[in-house]
Amino acid sequence: MKKNGTLAITSIQRNRNKYIVEWLAFHLAVGFNQFYIYCHKTDDGMTENLLELSKKYPIQVFSLEQDDLPQIMAYQHAWTNFGAQVDWMAFIDGDEFLFPTQAQSIQEALAAYEHCDLSALGVFWKCYGSNGHLTDPDGLILETHPKHSRNDFLPNRHIKSIVRGGEDINPNKSHLFETKRGTFDENMRPITHGWMRDLAPTYNTLRINHYVVQSKQFYFDKKQSMGGADMIAGFVRPDSYFDEYDRNEDSDGMSLRFLEQTKQKFAEITRTLESHHTSASRMNQTPAHNIVNTDLMRLIPENANRIVEVGCMHGAMARAYRESHPGIHYVGIDIDPDYAHVAAQFCDRTLGVDIEALSVDEFKSLFPSDCWIFGDCLEHLRDPWRIVRMVRESIDPNGCMLVCIPNAQHWSVLMRLATGQFHYEDSGLLDRTHIRWFTRTTMIDMFTQAGWRIENGFSRQIPTQPPQALLEGIRAIAEACGADGQQALADAQAFQYLFRLRPN
């Protein structure tokens, strides 16, 4: 295979937003120049930050929701799609730092193996303990965690693989893969298992610093119940795992070898994100999530063939629905191109556009379609009345539109109005990105005036109950205005309304 200088890392990570910048900075500093990062069920902002960084740095981001063996799925996807495009590809985790121990770059270290008869290199761990930290300390892990296990600590005999590009391999495990020409360590000793019990590790050329537990709080609050990337769903590590891996006997200073270069990259990446967050706060874009509105999804007719979802975010509903309906044609639309990029892996087509900015011809190109979905979306549009009318005018006569809309008549909103506490929030009924506000009555007016009829409609409520005195006040106000007090109480309990609408 012709060399192109690409040295890549494939990594599956979950909720490591706090640590991802240092991890990226370090590996850029040592010379890696391509990253394939799989965000597994991430909800801490890491996916969004990586997508922003991918505009400037050589990062490709993928969202992964698989519960069983997600690491294997990620590794196989990366190798199938990118294995022929790289010189070498390392497969490591977010708490693993891979670096050359003597060479000045990873390129220089790997050059020594360019003509060796092998498919992959196995690099040994050096396990680091909590360094006595009960909680996560401020600062870089490289600086705050200098202490590690002794060489004879048996878990150090685990390896991770760096695979030569274009090799015939099957990444079917997390440490050691099936290869045609074999995996060898830095001394060209054969590696036959992911944990080489009888082979003492050496670090003359390459090493992986593995920050296994980080701090006591990190382990028991996060890592213990996070599951295993190469395990089935529901895996929980035992309490004894922390004691086993909290090893802090030695400190050889190797974690500081690329510290200054890492600090420079860290500052550069941090500035990039700070600039983005400043811009994003001005735009007030709703944060993406991977939550599926199952009540709305159940309204999709069994005979639907072509779905268009507006406000698809990361494609959570497309992914969930296509698990049971793989043959459905699914189009996802989101105003944020980064969100649409992530959703693309679950959809036949995605558009990162403002639905209201489409020309007439662009809008009509979304048809024929027989099921349109607006899940918590219409309230974000400037003219939702026009959009629902345009869908009605173009949709298949037997098609439908599914809608979920927050209820501005909910008791919590009325209570805030009555007390003058109408403060916007990052999400919920008072989401600062909402442009339009609807009650049950004005929702129905919008639909019927656009030519829709309600085939199915119901409300969703929240567990929190209002004070009884508040309910009595709502009834009294409604009746004082000549309205039905009982209906006002029912409307005040609805947090959201969901509808399936058909052309009239």
pLDDT in tens, 24-72: 999 999 999 999 999 998 888 899 899 889 989 999 998 887 777 899 9
- Whose tokens are 């409604």? That residue is 478
Share of the chain above pLDDT 70, in %: 95
Summarize the confidence of residues 472-487 as an average pLDDT: 96
What are the tens digits of pLDDT across the range 190-232?
999 999 999 999 999 999 999 999 999 999 988 888 766 555 6
Of the ranges 164-173, 223-232, 418-427, 430-439, which one carries the lowest mean pLDDT score?
Answer: 223-232
Q: Would you list the DSSP string of 100-150?
A: ESSSSSHHHHHHTTTTSS-SEEEEEEEEE--TT-SSPPSS-HHHH---B--
CB 203 within 8 A of CB 100: no
Give residue limits of the domains in the chain: 7-275, 294-503
* Ranges 171-175, 349-353, 423-427: which has the least confidence: 423-427
pLDDT tens-digit readout, 377-404: 999 999 999 999 999 999 999 999 999 9
pTM for the model stands at 0.62
Query: What is the average pLDDT value for the chain, to the nearest integer?
Result: 93
Instruction: Give, in words, the CATH class of 7-275.
Output: alpha beta
Domain 7-275 matches domain 294-503 at the CATH topology level? no
Q: What is the CATH number of domain 294-503?
A: 3.40.50.150
The pLDDT of residue 282? 44
CA distance 216 to 178: 36
pLDDT tens-place string over residues 145-171: 999 999 999 999 999 999 999 999 999
